[in-house]
Amino acid sequence: MTAYTPKQIEPKWQSYWEEHHSHEVNDHSKRPKYYCLDMFPYPSGSGLHVGHWRGYVLSDAWSRYKKLQGYEVLHPMGWDAFGLPAENDAIKKGIHPSIGTARNIANFKKQLQQMGAMFDWSREINTSSPEYYQFTQWIFVQLFKMGLAYRKEMPINWCPSCKTGLANEEVVDGGCERCGSPVTKKNMNQWMLRITNYADRLLDDLDKLQWPDKVKKMQANWIGKSVGAHVRFSLVGADEEIEVFTTRPDTLYGATYMVLAPEHPLVAKITTADARDAVNDYVSQTLHKSALARQIVDKTKTGVFTGAYAINPATKKPIPVWIADYVLLDYGTGAIMAVPAHDERDFDFAKAFSLPIVQVIRPNSHVQGELQNLHEAYIGEGVLMNSGALDGLTIQEAKKAVIAFLEERKKGSGATTYKLRDWVFARQRYWGEPIPVVHCEHCGIVPVPEDELPVLLPDVERYEPTGTGESPLAAIESFVHTTCPTCGGPARRETDTMPQWAGSCWYFLRFADPRNDKEPFAKDKVNHWLPVDMYIGGVEHAVLHLLYARFFTKALYDRGVIGFDEPFIHLFNQGMMTLDGAKMSKSKGNVVSPEELIEKYGTDTLRIYELFVGPPEIDAEWNPRAIDGVHRFLSRTYRLVEENVQHAPHTGTLLRNKLRHRFLQQVTERLESFRFNTVVSAFMEFTGAMADYSDPIDRETLETLTLCLAPFAPHLAEECWQLLGHNDSVFMALWPTVDPTMLVDDEIEIVLQVNGKIRDRMVINVSSTQEEVIAVALSRDSLSPFLAGRTIQKQVYVQGKLVNFVIR
RNA sequence: GCCGUGGUGGCGGAAUUGGCAGACGCAGCGGACUUAAAAUCCGCUGGUCAGAGAUGACCGUACGGGUUCAAGUCCCGUCCUCGGCACCA
């Protein structure tokens, strides 16, 4: 008898796979394609921990299962290698970010290879290599030509610590997503992507995706579609109009005042002389408040009257125009009509400043009249009142009527707005893709011709962000000074770089054809492999990466570059691995590294333990001891094959065949529904049950066990497969099929209940009828103490499960 | 505040459609093997009460109600956990 020695088995099979190019995928295979993708990592300096492993093990087990099912499986890996840590390291140590990045990649790769995953390393990509980013730049040029990339001067989110502009999606609780510093506003002229053009499609196409509902909802909320109307209010004694957006045009008669955002351009024009000092004070106060203070911490209403009046187009009455910081400049039109009776915020404001409150919606339960002592806004269903000709209409009817009224008078129209903003796409940092355009005095903004790409990221002396709103590239004369591709005259290069998300917006496409140096990918290859069938990664990318990647995919589809408009069919979010209840991170000092575990137990044990800790989508606490049980299980399994293989009959007894098919059925079913933790339980039960019978264990049982184990413990499975006399890799074989006739038993045990309490059990023949079962049950001595002298009111029989006698 | 998720033994968790709650594993206890220990193997292991004992009764899936012959599972209400959004008109 030889013991289970992963230290010998695992390197042996890893070399075998490498020598036989087992994991290299074939573009022209006759097998159906399957694309299983991990969210590729940023190669940080701290390396991988057991939390990172979780998703990778999951996707590898799934990929290997799909391979055994007969698919040609693309399961690639690469590096999201542009990003701030490498740059910060460069600032600190003065070494080029590419050097640290290369070192980290080497380390990550070594660690991932230890996992024994079936990554096709011949397709490895690195977003910071010119071979890759030339095409990130190419895509930018396409977006520019489609009118989706544009420059705009506007106040954007600015991180004073990272010294760069940020996208809306990168601001979390008023702080920088990366470093947590409070974000301020900075007026900047920079690049934007018109993601809002795609708002409706990004929202509607969520229906096509088999993603967790949670992620779909998060994206839908982020897009934030609201349907309503634009309404223009005339000003008393002035030519300008104030345009507002409202979702409640039906409440127009109840609009008793208006509010502009303090930064609204009309504020300076309409403010009367009397109000000017107070307004100026308030505006400057607002500008100094951080986003955090304004939106999150303090919601008490403040504001000042501008002295101006507007005319309510419905009532024709003048209403005062205020400014207040509860109205945001960058949503809707930056101005509102306030209907205090039917909006909580307006109600609070009206109370605070004693503004009139006019009820225009009556709850259906109130036949007539106003609600007495309105002490909160009424936002429920109802019918119109105090609204002239609209009185008695439902809210829905009134919305239509008011929009028609406004359109007729040219005072407004139906309108839809979104919370989604255009994407601030420029970063004033070094370690990213240079935005491939030049600024020419004569021709304006000119994209770099496609055949001149890449615009190489030049070496610089100093990597520090300048903080002036310019990237470090601006200091390199030789980079900045160039000639205009159109007129040949002197021109300046764009010095901003792309955000970290740029490379990951299309890397899943590049894996289809990663060595193509002429184009991002050949059309036939990308249309063959894509879309991704299964995408596995953390939920932290629910809006950022996943929304951006969908946007790029749709834009490239519109450009005719690819033939599909959604990149990821299935999405699975694995849970975090925690230690002491906290997410593992180097800064918290609670990381568990896979190295020593592999040293002690072997890779296969760690792989299975990662799956066994709990449901894959739920966070799991690392338990350093529980891994022993998994290791014991693998040792037992190895021993089972090793001890029995010599004397195993080809086929087993009926009992063993039934056991085997039931096991196979369980594993397949649980695997299909991603219940990996219970798959492992099924293995443990099966190997345990095998010892319960004295007849010899047969080859079919041992082969099924080995095949089923292969996705999870591939090294051990290969070894067992070889012990079973096969010369090929186990992954050349096919997943066994369940014989349904083996799943049914002739006899089954059912439970006997009296008044829902279990009193006995008995074995019946499967073909027994209800009458037969009940008759037998009634004749049982065990039930007579409970039934004697009682009237049976009801008999419940659940086929093959139980009998319940209901007595009085 | 709004939207979403979850709450089951000492611990991680199982129970897919309402039908034997606690599979499987960890930890613990007892035993076998051993001079001994480790490793390995076998058995027990939700709680309370009664019994010398086999065993039996009752309670038990966050809490309070309800539906049902039957509820961890369905309905109503409450509390707590975690996540997302956060004055979005």
d(CA A184, CA A162): 12
SS3 A783: helix
pLDDT in tens, A281-313: 999 888 877 655 665 556 788 999 999 999 999
How many residues in chain A?
808
- Residue range A155-167: average pLDDT? 84
Tens digits of per-residue pLDDT, A603-634?
A: 999 999 999 999 999 988 888 888 999 999 99
- Above 90 in pLDDT, residue A147? yes
Say if CB A803 and CB A750 are below 8 A apart: yes
User: In this structure, what token pair is assigned to residue A346?
Assistant: 């307006």
B6 C1': nearest CA residue: A618
User: From CA A599, how far away is CA A194, in angstroms rounded?
Assistant: 51
CA–CA distance, A119 with A223 (Å, rounded to integer): 35
Question: Which nt sits closest to A349, CA to C1'?
Answer: B87
Q: Which positions in strand B are less than 7 Å from the protein's CB atoms?
A: 3-5, 11-16, 19-21, 23-27, 40-42, 58, 69-71, 82-89
Q: Tens digit of pLDDT for each residue in A713-737? A: 999 999 999 999 999 999 999 999 9
- Using a pLDDT cut of 70, give the percent of chain A over it: 98
Q: What's the token pair of residue A552?
A: 């790029």
What is the predicted pLDDT for the residue at A292? 56
Q: What is the pLDDT of residues A253-283, one digit of tens each?
A: 999 999 999 989 999 999 999 999 999 999 9
Give the residue among A100, A82, A107 at the shortest CA–CA distance from A593.
Answer: A107
What residues have CB less than 8 Å from A411, skipping those under 6 apart?
Answer: A231, A232, A313
Q: What is the pLDDT of residue A646?
A: 87
Average pLDDT over residues A221-243: 92
Confidence of residue A490 (pLDDT cuts 50, 70, 90): very high
In whole angstroms, B31 C1' to A635 CA is 23
CA A300 → C1' B87, Å? 9
pLDDT value of residue A626: 87
Largest separation between any pair of C-alpha atoms in chain A: 109
Give the span between the Cα atoms of A787 and A793, in whole angstroms.
Answer: 11
pLDDT tens, A70-84?
999 999 999 999 988
Reported as a single tens digit per residue, the pLDDT across A410-427 is: 999 999 999 999 999 999
* Gap from A602 CA to B61 C1', Å: 37
Task: Calculate the angstrom distance between C1' of B18 and CA of A758.
Answer: 17
Per-residue pLDDT, A291: 58
Query: Structure tokens of A105?
Result: 């990649």
Protein residue closest via CA to C1' of B5? A214
**pLDDT value of residue A289:** 72
Out of A92-96, A155-159, A505-509, A683-687, give the one with best mean pLDDT: A505-509
State the nearest residue by CA to the C1' of B82. Answer: A619
- Banded pLDDT at A370 (limits 50, 70, 90): low
Q: Which residue has the higher pLDDT, A63 or A177?
A: A63
Indicate the pLDDT class of residue A176, thresholds 50, 70 and 90. confident
Higher pLDDT, A788 or A65: A65
* Greater model confidence, A432 or A751: A432
Residue A365 clears pLDDT 80, i.e. is over it? no
* Cβ contact A82:A128 at 8 Å: yes
DSSP code, position A383: E
Exposure string of A239-275, with b = 16+ CB inside 10 Å and e = fewer, is: eebbbbbbbbbbbbbbbbbbbbbbbbebbeebbeeeb
- Both structure tokens of A141: 């040029």
Instruction: pLDDT band for A238, please (50, 70, 90 cuts).
Output: confident
Task: Summarize the confidence of residues A782-796 as an average pLDDT.
Answer: 78
Distance A540 CA to B82 C1' (A): 14
Burial class (CB in 10 A: 0-12, 13-18, 19+), A694: exposed
Average pLDDT over residues A756-767: 82
Give me the pLDDT at residue A379, please.
86
pLDDT of residue A61: 97
Q: What confidence score (pLDDT) does residue A438 get? A: 95
pLDDT of residue A265: 93
The mean pLDDT of A561-571, rounded to a whole number, is 96
- Rounded to whole angstroms, the distance from the CA of residue A112 to the C1' of nucleotide B8 is 37
pLDDT tens digits, A102-144: 999 999 999 999 999 999 999 999 999 999 999 999 999 999 9
Q: Is the pLDDT of residue A767 over 90?
A: no
* Greater model confidence, A579 or A669: A669
The nucleotide minimizing the C1' distance to residue A225's CA is: B88
Residue A15: band (very low, low, confident or very high) from pLDDT cuts 50, 70, 90: very high
For all residues of chain A together, what is the average pLDDT?
90
CA of A782 to C1' of B24 (A): 32
A259, closest nucleotide (Cα–C1') = B89
Q: How many angstroms separate the CA atoms of A565 and A202, rounded?
A: 10
For residue A639, how many other CB atoms are within 10 A of its CB? Answer: 15
Measured CA A52 to C1' B63 distance, in angstroms:
38
Q: Which nucleotide is nearest to A421 (CA to C1')?
A: B88
- Positive or negative CA dihedral for A371, A376, A377, A378? negative
Between A780 and A555, name the one with better pLDDT: A555
Q: Residue A369: what pLDDT? A: 58
Which pLDDT does position A371 carry in this prediction? 61
State the average pLDDT over residues A484-497.
92
pLDDT at A617: 92
Q: What is the mean pLDDT of residues A233-238?
A: 90
Which pLDDT value is given to residue A382?
87
- Residue nearest the C1' of B71 (CA based): A756
Distances (CA, A) of A400 to A343, A403, A405, A595: 20, 5, 9, 66
The pLDDT confidence band at residue A185, using thresholds 50, 70 and 90, is confident
Per-residue pLDDT of A134-143, as tens digits, reads 999 999 999 9
Predicted confidence (pLDDT) at residue A47 exceeds the cutoff of 90 = no
